[in-house]
Structure 1
Amino acid sequence: MTDTQLRKSSDKTPVTVLTGYLGAGKTTLLNRILSEDHGKRYAVIVNEFGEVGIDNDLIVGADEEVFEMNNGCVCCTVRGDLIRVVAGLMKRQSASGKGGFDAIIVETTGLADPGPVAQTFFVDEDVRAKTQLDSVTTVVDAKHLPLRLADSREAAEQVAFADQIILNKTDLVSAAELAEVERMIRRLNPLAPIHRAERSDVPLDLVLGRGSFDLARIEEIQPDFLNPAHGEPGHVHDDDCDHDHDHEGHHHHHHDHGGHDVEASGIRGISLTSHRPLDANKVTAWLNEVLQTQGPDILRAKGILDVAGEHRRLVFQAVHMILEGDFQGPWRDGADRYSRLVFIGRNLDEAALRAGFEATAA
């Protein structure tokens, strides 16, 4: 794929972006990460301690910007550019005689769009060479999410952008309300796993070190990752589908589930699939064109593509206008080859996207 490749290296420091609307519970989760005996050292980048509310007892000593936590974590406030802060942490990492830290957590303000934060780890070559975006985790409040989605574009973007979602405060809603909230989340993001929690009490291995931004790894673990479950928006009925249906395999179907209107944000997920091999030049040109012309409206895009004449899968991810991808593991022997893409964004023209995708067939 043109321009850049998704580089994976064990010597890169993984980065988890932790986001969520004000009051969702992400600070509670962050304090758990800083205080639990997990055997790892984390560098944590936060906006300002005054806003974030990190437990002051965790802070041992401080200079102007870097704080030592009592479990060995290092914490920074983002008073300047994120790239500069990350670069400073990586210099500290290299200079450390104690092995430095194992990973970085970036906690965004509750009103922030996580997109530009995630982009930081792709656009700066120095940061990119030393770090690897592991996942974007969004914490949401089960009780207040419907209201947040109705009045906040940022809340919708945080859900849409997530690689995984912590559905917090589930004890404050009924089973029916919880199911409805999950349907609302699925309308915005058909891909991210949803983990229910009370007081952000979710196992940390569901949040940290997930490799969720490594699409090839996730697809190996969960082959149907890019195909939402039956009855969910974006589900693709294909040859591997054992559901009783009359639909043709190569079509995408979008179902309207009613309920709360989460379309006010204009955000939705669109899935496209094909069982015809694709022309590598055509599909690359099409993806580049889509991202250049619609990049600001496309929060995330992910795909696994079957390229004619190639035994390996072409795996790509996009964050707004930044496209990352390369050929990765081979197709399994005897497995049905297919191409599947998922776009998550606002004001997307599903018919135009499908037509463009189908035109890339070899």
Structure 2
Amino acid sequence: MKAATDTNKMVPVTILTGFLGAGKTTLLKRILTEYHGRRIAVIENEFGPESIDNELLVQESDEEIVELSNGCVCCTIRGDLMRTLNELRVKRQAGELNFERVIIETTGMANPGPVCQTFFMDDEIADYYRLDAVITVVDAKHGMETLDNQEESQKQIGFADRILISKKDLVNDADYDALRARIVRINPRATITAVHFGEADIKSLLDISGFNLNTILDIDPAFLADQHPDAHDHDHGHGHGHDHEHEHEGECGAHCGHEHHHHAHHNDEIGAFVFRSNKAFDPERLEEFLGGIVQVYGPDLLRYKGILYLKGINRRMLFQGVHMMMGAEPGKPWLSGEKPNTKMVFIGRKLPQEIFTRGLEQCLV
């Protein structure tokens, strides 16, 4: 992934995805209504029956790009996303359109992966637009059922930087907690919030910088506790607990190690695992290993991100990827009182944690 020249001048893009009926369109209408006078270009994968056109459009139109009554613009993807983004760019550069940010609303069945990749594949798009974040809306009432029946919905969660759970008032606390725990096992790095779309904090949904390498790598504490109740005491260098984790592999998609008795695990295709070590990586071996892993498992890797401790480098290295596309850049120096360490999270489809972990351990000095 190449870094563009000046990120401040780039147009930020938010991808809004989620289950059918979860409330994506309600949220989008709310953003457009609240940001009156702030110009947003909305790209819709399709005009469904519940679309923004009925309330906000100036006129019915066959145009692919239409003005909305509040000064925003809306367009449908009739062709391909890359072409639509380039058309918007050309019109904005020519002064024909005025917008400050883009929101792409995907269909309820869409896998956000190819949409994310668009921002790293085409140079003109990569130089002009800055992919900010993937926001996924989950319906509390039907979430479990959707995750059971639709692998695409698991991918939507796996790709997310921020997860919003709607309709929490329709379920009891135990069901909500079970859904939340399942989401954390699929994606421990996304923030999860229960929202009423009438009162969601819109500002917290824009400018998340989820694809920015400098953003902090937070991992849900519940996930870490579930993986290893004593995780923080151990260094991956001596292979603690791998055989024990391996026994459970078929049971829960991502190895979660211990404590299986207290909640039923769903056998989700998409899952996550974390690699941590206090030992330094050999930079060349690590680069070679990660390059090979991405070649083999790229299609099944959704998002991966890490803060790396490399031998001979006195600052942390930041790395992240989407499918086959991986990027890295230097981060802040390690402070004198700080213990340098590596923390990496991989989210993907049936990833062989054992292969990744052993390979990464072989790259340690």
CA deviation after TM superposition for structure 1 residue 52, in Å: 5.0
CA deviation after TM superposition for structure 1 residue 226, in Å: 3.9
Cross-structure match for 2:257: 255
Q: AA paired with 2:138?
A: V
Q: AA paired with 2:19?
A: Y
**Partners of 1:296 and 1:146 in 2: CA distance:** 25
Query: Measured at CA, do residues 11 and 236 of structure 1 come closer, stay the same or move farther in structure 2, by a change above 3 Å?
Result: farther
CA deviation after TM superposition for structure 1 residue 177, in Å: 1.2
Cross-structure match for 2:151: 153
- Asked if structure 1 preserves the Cα contact closer than 8 Å seen for 2:213 and 2:328, the reply is no
**Partners of 2:29 and 2:264 in 1: CA distance:** 33
Q: How does 1:212-223 map to 2 (within 5 A)?
A: 212-219=210-217
**Partners of 2:318 and 2:198 in 1: CA distance:** 33
CA deviation after TM superposition for structure 1 residue 53, in Å: 1.4
Q: How does 1:263-282 map to 2 (within 5 A)?
A: 263=267, 265-282=268-285
CA deviation after TM superposition for structure 1 residue 39, in Å: 5.2
Q: How does 1:187-266 map to 2 (within 5 A)?
A: 187-199=185-197, 201-219=199-217, 225-226=218-219, 228-229=221-222, 232-234=225-227, 237=230, 241=232, 247-250=233-236, 254-255=256-257, 257=260, 259-263=263-267, 265-266=268-269
- Asked if structure 1 preserves the Cα contact closer than 8 Å seen for 2:37 and 2:71, the reply is no
Q: How does 1:2-17 map to 2 (within 5 A)?
A: 4-7=1-4, 9-17=7-15
Q: AA paired with 2:257?
A: H
- Asked if structure 1 preserves the Cα contact closer than 8 Å seen for 2:151 and 2:269, the reply is no
TM-score, normalised via structure 1 length: 0.89
**Partners of 2:156 and 2:62 in 1: CA distance:** 32
Q: Name the SS for the 2:215 alignment partner.
A: helix
Cross-structure match for 2:320: 317
Alignment deviations for residues 77-118 of structure 1 (CA, whole Å, 9 cap, x no partner): 0011100000111112212278x2111101001001111111
Structure 1, unpaired ranges of 5+: 220-224, 242-246
In proportion to residue count, which structure has more helix? 2
Aligned partner (choices 152, 159, 176) of residue 174 of structure 2: 176
- Asked if structure 1 preserves the Cα contact closer than 8 Å seen for 2:32 and 2:72, the reply is yes
**Partners of 1:136 and 1:179 in 2: CA distance:** 23
- Asked if structure 2 preserves the Cα contact closer than 8 Å seen for 1:236 and 1:249, the reply is no
Cross-structure match for 2:248: none
**Partners of 1:236 and 1:338 in 2: CA distance:** 19
Is 1:104 equivalent to 2:102 in the alignment? yes
TM-score, normalised via structure 2 length: 0.88
Q: AA paired with 1:228?
A: P
**Partners of 1:133 and 1:233 in 2: CA distance:** 31
**Partners of 1:31 and 1:113 in 2: CA distance:** 22
Alignment deviations for residues 43-79 of structure 1 (CA, whole Å, 9 cap, x no partner): 1100122355114221124561001112211111001
**Partners of 1:300 and 1:332 in 2: CA distance:** 28
Q: Name the SS for the 2:332 alignment partner.
A: strand
Q: Name the SS for the 1:49 alignment partner.
A: coil
CA deviation after TM superposition for structure 1 residue 205, in Å: 1.7
Q: Name the SS for the 2:8 alignment partner.
A: coil
Q: AA paired with 2:277?
A: S
Cross-structure match for 1:342: 345
Q: How does 1:40-189 map to 2 (within 5 A)?
A: 40-61=38-59, 62=61, 64-96=63-95, 100-189=98-187
**Partners of 1:307 and 1:48 in 2: CA distance:** 46
Q: How many residues align?
A: 345
Q: Name the SS for the 1:24 alignment partner.
A: coil
RMSD (CA atoms): 2.2
Further displaced range: 324-333 or 287-296: 324-333
Query: Measured at CA, do residues 68 and 229 of structure 1 come closer, stay the same or move farther in structure 2, by a change above 3 Å?
Result: same
Sequence identity percentage: 40
**Partners of 1:86 and 1:334 in 2: CA distance:** 46
Is 1:305 equivalent to 2:317 in the alignment? no
